């Protein structure tokens, strides 16, 4: 399949004298892969290699009354049975390395399990078969607890508490809210004035990355009291840092070797194998391998998390969307991993590539008794895009406008203000729609063909709303979210409670809607399209991140500020 | 404990040894059993390997063909007297699997496997066991109490020789293209006598705990000449009396929804 480069588009904004960008380039590992010579971590052979298998929970949610490993330890060939108390620092959150989120997940659980397949012990043995036989001989006395598998059930009062660090099953954002807010303009006022209010509910499923090479690592003693670790990880230094933290080792004692990943797609960043393999090596003095088999990969390997979105649009008869409201639930599974970060990404993406003057979002990172979710290609974005684009079709149907025209009518253009208060640059939705319509033989009007991302944006469209309705609902007293947000790090748990008084401060009286000069809708042919003009550079946006304006008492550094993307040259 | 392998040159001898050893399993092609070995299945510790050459026989017995239990999918596909079974055998796995997977293994395979077994049900095959001479068990009966036959050893499968190989139609429905695990399979025996078809046998795989016949569809088709009206009547009762499973491949609802569509395509010969 050949790639067609549309260099006619935005030609004056691009240098074409670059050596790599814009040119098809063969991957450097392709020859090794197709000839079967690429060395993967499992191709490294060690004399006397030991094998590791985990004892896993058969329950979605259960307390561990006791673990009896004596019979397993007596099995010939078993070198060590590792339990939670053997892990030097048995609590971690992947995002703690980014200073975001409380430590909430043990490497080997010793008090309770919160998802089916959660590991509670690891067997190190002479062969994989012996390790498996020993797993079958570990006796765990479970006290089965009620479980919850649905995001909205999980946040109801009285739902089973999944995650000890977040007992209400909701991640705490910025140390103060039980959800991520996005407030831009006044959605409720705009909905009241809209000709149509169009609602939709969209549900995604978890998706397993399913790499051909299952996750794994081999650790071996090295000279100078170090450990070498061959790993399939996608994030070598991320895994090194995670292992150093869980094992309470100086990272200088860890020598990580990666480089060939047999399929990753986001599923090899969770860094569970490296610390356990190294721990097995530390406790036995022998090389130790820990790898998922295919069943583990599917059942325990962290997937892209499921998302549920409710979207409410306020739409005028001419197709202009004047308000868009999101209520989103990310299913993090039992532990945070990377889900809280996915939501921050998602919030910066709303309301999709459209210029809508009033946008509102409450996005919840919810803990359920499912396999923890993690990264997968565009996580935080792909799911809500599925919801948004389905909803655009629903709006087009309801209002009776061609779906391509509806998208172009509402598309963001260079110089527009986005809901997270950054100026839109490098916009290209209009051109994408035009090319997609052309390639698929979709009949479009002349108006569609005349539109351009370079014109019609900015001006009033580049201004912040004159009024943004804010609220305090979901406020959490004494919330902690690590040092990010002002709390102190390594909290044992975050004691917090919602107070009734903190809920829903009454909104201020709604001011008139900001008028939106936009490209003329095709349904009103009497009005001539605006002349094509180069958009004057609007004043750079100076707003904070996707948080509602707050009193000046706390001004945390604007993290995640890079989500507004790159500038056009 | 490592898994032991014992070799038997006489199938009857293996059958006797199996009846006194709960922790032994017969190793056929190994495509299902070796997965359990790799996963450390604790329910068995011994594999019986059978080298009895009679298990590899394919021979005529009157108007039927007797297929030894250890005959592989690839051998069925290659055999000129079994061309009517080739489509179903080819639906199983890839070349490596078909080179080792056996007909008896397929008869006993749990869902979602058993594509060939579905065709054998439609065909009206019979199953022969070690220690029972040439007494055959009809396949409907075999499937009905398949679980309770654990511990006995299948030696051969007897199938009617089809004069017209196209009288057996087979369709494997997968959600992965070109080939994945069957969310259902359909086999239809449509023997022509003059202008009409007499003695329809329709079987589904993965629409219940074992491959099974679909009596409602057979009744609806009886006496029809596979015209539009007859097929529409059959499709309307495509899942009558069935309790299709919900599993990772599809929900029971989905199976009920798509079964009539695929049945209709198969009967119309539109499965391309």
CATH of the domain at A277: 3.90.1170.50
CA distance A308 to chain B (A): 20
Contacts of A133 in chain B (CB under 8 A): 1, 40, 42
pLDDT of residue B84: 95
Q: Is B15 left (phi over 0), alpha (psi -120 to 50) or beta?
A: alpha
Distance CA A209, CA A338 (A): 15
CA distance B241 to chain A (A): 31
Are residues B146 and B58 both part of a single domain? yes
CA distance B37 to chain A (A): 9
Distance from CA of residue A328 to its chain's centroid?
A: 13
Are residues B133 and B184 both part of a single domain? no
User: Of A233, A264, A299, which residue constitutes the final position of a domain?
Assistant: A299
Average pLDDT on B247-265 reads 96
Domain limits at A335? 180-205+304-564
Separation in Å, CA B115 to CA B92, B110, B124, B144, B178 = 6, 11, 15, 17, 16
Q: Which residues lie closer than 8 Å to B167 by C-beta, 6 or more apart?
A: B84, B189, B190, B191, B192
Q: Is B193 on the interface with A (CB under 8 A)?
A: no
Q: Determine what percent of chain B is predicted with pLDDT higher than 70.
A: 98
User: Of B115, B136, B160, which residue constitutes the final position of a domain?
Assistant: B160
Do residue B42 and residue A133 have CB atoms under 8 angstroms apart?
A: yes
Do residue A133 and residue B40 have CB atoms under 8 angstroms apart?
A: yes
Number of domains in chain A: 2
Do residue B2 and residue A129 have CB atoms under 8 angstroms apart?
A: yes
Structure-block tokens of residue A253? 């004692």
User: Of B132, B160, B188, which residue constitutes the final position of a domain?
Assistant: B160
Average pLDDT value for chain B: 93
Q: Is A86 on the interface with B (CB under 8 A)?
A: no
A2 located within any domain: no
Q: Which residue has the tokens 């299948």?
A: B154
Q: Is A136 on the interface with B (CB under 8 A)?
A: yes
Contacts of B38 in chain A (CB under 8 A): 293
Q: Is B20 on the interface with A (CB under 8 A)?
A: no
Q: In what helix (H) or strand (E) does residue A52 lie, and over which residues does it extend?
A: strand A50-56
What does the pLDDT look like over A122-178, one tens digit per residue? Answer: 999 999 999 999 999 999 999 999 999 999 999 999 999 999 999 999 999 988 999
Distance from CA of residue A448 to its chain's centroid?
A: 34
Q: Is A71 on the interface with B (CB under 8 A)?
A: no
Q: Of the candidates B156, B93, B164, which has an alpha carbon nearest to the alpha carbon of residue B120?
A: B156
Structure-block tokens of residue A491? 């909290």
Average pLDDT on B65-70 reads 98
**Do the beta carbons of residue A481 and residue A172 sit within 8 Å?**
yes
Are residues A378 and A527 both part of a single domain? yes
Are residues B212 and B240 both part of a single domain? yes
Q: Which residues lie closer than 8 Å to A302 by C-beta, 6 or more apart?
A: A267, A270, A333, A337, A371, A372, A373, A374
Q: Which residues lie closer than 8 Å to A461 by C-beta, 6 or more apart?
A: A355, A413, A415, A416, A417, A516, A517, A518
DSSP code string of B81-125: GGHHHHHHHHTSS-HHHHHH-BHHHHHHPPTT--HHHHHHHHHT-
Q: Is A296 on the interface with B (CB under 8 A)?
A: no
Distance CA A7, CA A439 (A): 16
CA distance B42 to chain A (A): 7
Contacts of B39 in chain A (CB under 8 A): 132, 293, 295
Structure-block tokens of residue A155? 């946040």
Distance CA A333, CA A306 (A): 9
User: Of B120, B141, B160, which residue constitutes the final position of a domain?
Assistant: B160
pLDDT of residue B178: 79
CATH number at residue B259: 3.30.390.50
Do residue B39 and residue A136 have CB atoms under 8 angstroms apart?
A: no
Higher local confidence (pLDDT), B82 or A529: B82
Are residues B156 and B209 both part of a single domain? no
Q: Is A366 on the interface with B (CB under 8 A)?
A: no
Residue A294: closest CA among chain B residues belongs to which residue? B39
CATH number at residue B130: 3.30.465.10
Distance CA A512, CA B140 (A): 75
Which own/partner contact pairs does B222-228 have at CB distance under 8 Å and 24+ positions apart?
Answer: B223/B196, B223/B198, B224/B196, B224/B197, B225/B195, B225/B196, B225/B197, B226/B190, B226/B197, B226/B267
Q: Which residue has the tokens 């404990």?
A: B1
User: Of A299, A332, A356, which residue constitutes the final position of a domain?
Assistant: A299
A186 located within any domain: yes
Residue A72: closest CA among chain B residues belongs to which residue? B1
Query: What is the DSSP pairing of strand B64-68 with strand B58-61?
Result: antiparallel
Residue B37: closest CA among chain A residues belongs to which residue? A129
Average pLDDT value for chain A: 86
E strands, A384-505, are 476-477, 497-498
**Do the beta carbons of residue B236 and residue B260 sit within 8 Å?**
yes
Read off the pLDDT band of B141 (50, 70, 90). very high
Q: Return the number of CB contacts < 8 Å for A and B.
A: 16
What does the pLDDT look like over A423-456, one tens digit per residue? Answer: 999 999 999 999 999 999 999 999 999 999 999 9
Q: Is A293 on the interface with B (CB under 8 A)?
A: yes
Do residue B1 and residue A135 have CB atoms under 8 angstroms apart?
A: no
pLDDT of residue A526: 40
Residue A135: closest CA among chain B residues belongs to which residue? B40
Q: Which residues lie closer than 8 Å to A525 by C-beta, 6 or more apart?
A: none
Are residues B246 and B209 both part of a single domain? yes
Distance CA A273, CA B248 (A): 27
Q: Is A295 on the interface with B (CB under 8 A)?
A: yes
Contacts of A51 in chain B (CB under 8 A): none
Q: Which residues lie closer than 8 Å to B56 by C-beta, 6 or more apart?
A: B68, B70, B71, B75
Q: Of the candidates A162, A144, A206, which has an alpha carbon nearest to the alpha carbon of residue A368?
A: A162
CA distance A206 to chain B (A): 13
Separation in Å, CA B271 to CA B84, B121, B176, B185 = 16, 20, 16, 12
Q: Of the candidates A397, A374, A370, which has an alpha carbon nearest to the alpha carbon of residue A304?
A: A374
Q: In what helix (H) or strand (E) does residue A242 lie, and over which residues does it extend?
A: helix A236-247
Do residue B40 and residue A135 have CB atoms under 8 angstroms apart?
A: yes
B38 cis-preceded (ω within 30 degrees of 0): no
Length of chain A in terms of residues written: 569
Q: Is B43 on the interface with A (CB under 8 A)?
A: no
Question: How many CB atoms within 10 Å of residue A498?
Answer: 17
Do residue A133 and residue B39 have CB atoms under 8 angstroms apart?
A: no
Residue A292: closest CA among chain B residues belongs to which residue? B39
Q: Is B40 on the interface with A (CB under 8 A)?
A: yes
Q: Which residues lie closer than 8 Å to A438 by C-beta, 6 or more apart?
A: none
Please name the member of B3, B39, B42 whose beta carbon is closest to the beta carbon of A295.
Answer: B39
Are residues A286 and A321 both part of a single domain? no
Are residues A434 and A513 both part of a single domain? yes
B269 cis-preceded (ω within 30 degrees of 0): no
Contacts of B42 in chain A (CB under 8 A): 133, 136
Do residue B40 and residue A295 have CB atoms under 8 angstroms apart?
A: no
CA distance A78 to chain B (A): 11
Are residues A497 and A397 both part of a single domain? yes
pLDDT of residue A481: 52
Are residues A266 and A397 both part of a single domain? no
Residue ranges of the alpha helices (H) in A250-381?
273-284, 294-299, 339-349
Are residues B116 and B186 both part of a single domain? no
| Residues within 8 A of A (CB atoms), B 143-182 only | none
Are residues A527 and A378 both part of a single domain? yes
Do residue A136 and residue B42 have CB atoms under 8 angstroms apart?
A: yes
Distance CA A301, CA A469 (A): 41
| Residues within 8 A of B (CB atoms), A 18-57 only | 53
pLDDT of residue A511: 45
pLDDT at B270 over 70: yes
Structure-block tokens of residue A101? 């989120």
Are residues A329 and A467 both part of a single domain? yes
For an interface test with A, give the residue of B5, B40, B47, B181 to mutate (most A CBs within 10 A).
B40
Domain limits at B190? 167-268
Q: Is B2 on the interface with A (CB under 8 A)?
A: yes
Separation in Å, CA B74 to CA A223, A365, B102, B120, B127 = 53, 52, 9, 16, 20
Distance CA B112, CA B120 (A): 16
Phi–psi pair at A506, nearest 5 degrees: -60, 140
Are residues B137 and B225 both part of a single domain? no
Are residues A294 and A321 both part of a single domain? no
DSSP code string of A146-193: -----HHHHTSTTPPP-BTTBTTSBPPBTTTBSSEEEEES-HHHHHHH
**Do the beta carbons of residue A129 and residue A189 sit within 8 Å?**
no
Query: pTM for this one?
Result: 0.83
Are residues B154 and B198 both part of a single domain? no
Helix (H, G, I), strand (E, B) or coil at A53: strand
DSSP code string of B147-201: GGGTT--EEEEEEEPPSSGGGEEEEEEESSSS---EEEEEEEE--EETTEE-S-E
Contacts of A132 in chain B (CB under 8 A): 39-40
Are residues A264 and A392 both part of a single domain? no
CATH number at residue A441: 3.30.365.10
Q: Of the candidates A174, A277, A74, A234, which has an alpha carbon nearest to the alpha carbon of residue A483?
A: A174
Distance CA A58, CA A81 (A): 19
A37 located within any domain: no
Read off the pLDDT band of B163 (50, 70, 90). confident
Structure-block tokens of residue A71? 């019979």
pLDDT of residue A376: 95
**Do the beta carbons of residue A255 and residue A261 sit within 8 Å?**
no
CA distance A194 to chain B (A): 39
Which residues does chain A have with pLDDT short of 70?
Answer: 1, 479-569
Are residues B149 and B107 both part of a single domain? yes
DSSP code string of A474-504: TBEET---STTTTPPSS-S----EE-GGGS-
Do residue B39 and residue A129 have CB atoms under 8 angstroms apart?
A: no
Residue A131: closest CA among chain B residues belongs to which residue? B40
Phi–psi pair at A217, nearest 5 degrees: -160, 150
pLDDT of residue A95: 83
Residue B42: closest CA among chain A residues belongs to which residue? A133
Are residues B145 and B62 both part of a single domain? yes
Q: Is B124 left (phi over 0), alpha (psi -120 to 50) or beta?
A: left
Distance CA A475, CA B60 (A): 81
For an interface test with B, give the residue of A78, A131, A133 to mutate (most B CBs within 10 A).
A133
pLDDT of residue A479: 65
Distance CA B107, CA B101 (A): 11
Are residues B10 and B59 both part of a single domain? no
Are residues A309 and A422 both part of a single domain? yes
Distance CA B10, CA B53 (A): 9
Question: How many CB atoms within 10 Å of residue A193?
Answer: 13
Distance from CA of residue A154 to its chain's centroid?
A: 19
Contacts of A136 in chain B (CB under 8 A): 40, 42
CA distance A557 to chain B (A): 45
Are residues B47 and B58 both part of a single domain? no
Structure-block tokens of residue A8? 């006619």
Q: Of the candidates A156, A165, A159, which has an alpha carbon nearest to the alpha carbon of residue A145?
A: A159
Contacts of A129 in chain B (CB under 8 A): 2-3, 40
Are residues A292 and A313 both part of a single domain? no
Distance CA A344, CA A177 (A): 13
Number of domains in chain B: 3
pLDDT of residue B133: 83
pLDDT of residue A5: 80
Q: Is A240 on the interface with B (CB under 8 A)?
A: no
User: Of A232, A265, A299, which residue constitutes the final position of a domain?
Assistant: A299
Phi–psi pair at B72, nearest 5 degrees: -90, 165
Distance CA A334, CA A93 (A): 12
Residue A298: closest CA among chain B residues belongs to which residue? B248
A169 located within any domain: no
Are residues A476 and A384 both part of a single domain? yes
């Amino acid at each position: 399949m050949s790639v067609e480069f549309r260099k006619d588009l935005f030609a004056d904004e691009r240098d074409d004298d670059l050596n790599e960008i814009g040119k098809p380039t063969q991957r450097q590992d392709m020859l090794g892969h197709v000839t079967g010579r690429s060395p993967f971590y499992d191709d490294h052979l060690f004399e006397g290699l030991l094998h590791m298998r985990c004892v896993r929970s058969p329950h979605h949610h259960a307390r561990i009354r006791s673990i009896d490993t004596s019979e397993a330890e007596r099995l010939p060939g078993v070198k060590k049975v590792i339990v939670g108390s053997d892990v030097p620092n048995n609590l971690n959150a992947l995002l703690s390395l980014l200073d975001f989120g409380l430590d909430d997940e043990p490497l080997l659980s010793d008090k309770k399990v919160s998802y089916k397949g959660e590991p509670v012990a690891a067997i190190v043995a002479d062969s994989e078969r012996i390790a498996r036989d020993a797993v079958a001989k570990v006796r765990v006395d479970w006290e089965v607890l009620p479980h919850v598998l649905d995001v909205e059930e999980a946040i109801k009062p009285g739902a089973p508490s999944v995650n000890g660090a977040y007992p209400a099953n909701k991640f705490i954002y910025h140390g103060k809210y039980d959800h991520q807010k996005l407030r831009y303009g006044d959605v409720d006022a705009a909905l009241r004035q809209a000709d149509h209010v169009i609602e939709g509910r969209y549900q995604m499923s978890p998706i397993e990355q399913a790499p051909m090479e299952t996750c794994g690592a081999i650790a071996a003693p090295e000279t100078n009291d170090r450990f070498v670790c061959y790993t399939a990880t996608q994030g070598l230094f991320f895994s090194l840092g995670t292992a150093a933290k869980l094992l309470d080792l100086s990272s200088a004692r860890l020598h990580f070797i990666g480089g060939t990943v047999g399929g990753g797609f986001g599923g090899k960043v969770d860094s569970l194998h490296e610390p356990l393999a190294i721990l097995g090596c530390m406790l036995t003095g022998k090389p130790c391998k820990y790898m998922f088999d295919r069943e583990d990969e599917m059942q325990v390997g962290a997937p892209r998390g499921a998302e549920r979105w409710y979207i409410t649009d306020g739409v005028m008869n001419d197709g202009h969307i004047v308000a868009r409201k999101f209520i989103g639930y990310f299913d993090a599974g039992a532990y945070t991993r990377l889900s809280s970060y996915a939501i921050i990404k998602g919030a910066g993406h709303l309301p999709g590539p459209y210029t809508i003057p009033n946008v509102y979002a409450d996005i919840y990172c919810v803990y359920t008794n499912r396999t923890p979710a993690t990264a997968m290609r565009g996580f935080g974005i792909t799911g809500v895009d599925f919801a948004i684009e389905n909803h655009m079709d629903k709006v087009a149907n309801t209002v009776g406008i061609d779906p391509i025209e509806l998208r172009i009518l509402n598309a963001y253009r260079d110089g527009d203000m986005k809901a997270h208060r950054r100026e839109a640059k490098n916009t290209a939705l209009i051109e994408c729609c035009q090319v997609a319509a052309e390639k698929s033989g979709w009949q479009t009007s002349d108006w569609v063909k005349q539109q351009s991302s370079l014109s019609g944006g900015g001006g009033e469209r580049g201004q912040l709303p004159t009024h943004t309705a804010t609220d305090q609902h979901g406020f959490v007293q004494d919330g902690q979210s690590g040092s990010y947000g002002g709390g102190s790090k390594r909290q044992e748990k975050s004691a917090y409670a919602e107070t009734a008084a903190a809920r829903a401060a009454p909104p201020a009286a709604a001011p008139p809607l900001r008028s939106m000069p936009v490209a003329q809708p095709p349904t009103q042919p009497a009005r001539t399209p605006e002349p094509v003009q180069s958009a004057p550079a609007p004043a750079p946006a100076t707003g904070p991140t996707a948080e509602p304006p707050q009193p000046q008492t706390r001004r945390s550094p604007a993290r995640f500020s890079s989500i507004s993307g790159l500038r056009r040259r | 404990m490592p898994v032991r392998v014992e070799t038997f040159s006489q199938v009857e001898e293996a059958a006797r040894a199996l009846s006194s050893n709960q922790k032994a399993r017969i190793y056929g092609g190994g495509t299902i059993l070796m997965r359990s070995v790799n996963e450390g299945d604790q329910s068995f510790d011994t594999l019986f390997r059978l080298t009895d050459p009679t298990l590899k026989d394919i021979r005529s017995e009157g108007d039927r063909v007797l297929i030894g239990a250890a005959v592989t999918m690839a051998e069925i596909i290659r055999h000129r007297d079994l061309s009517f079974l080739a489509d179903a055998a080819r639906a199983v796995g890839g070349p490596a699997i078909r080179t080792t997977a056996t007909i008896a293994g397929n008869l006993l395979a749990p869902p979602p496997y058993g594509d060939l077994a579905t065709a054998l049900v439609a065909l009206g095959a019979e199953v022969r066991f070690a220690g029972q001479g040439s007494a055959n068990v009809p396949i409907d009966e075999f499937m009905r109490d398949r679980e309770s036959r654990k511990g006995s050893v299948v030696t051969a499968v007897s199938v009617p020789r089809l004069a017209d190989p196209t009288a057996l139609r087979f369709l494997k429905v997968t959600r992965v293209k070109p080939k994945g695990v069957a969310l259902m399979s359909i086999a239809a025996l449509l023997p022509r006598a003059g202008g009409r078809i007499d003695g329809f046998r329709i079987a589904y795989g993965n629409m219940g705990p074992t491959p099974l016949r679909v009596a409602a569809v057979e009744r609806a088709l009886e006496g029809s000449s596979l015209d539009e009206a007859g097929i529409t009547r059959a499709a309307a009762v495509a899942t009558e009396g069935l309790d299709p499973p919900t599993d990772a491949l599809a929900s029971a609802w989905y199976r009920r929804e798509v079964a009539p569509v695929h049945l209709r395509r198969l009967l119309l010969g539109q499965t391309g």
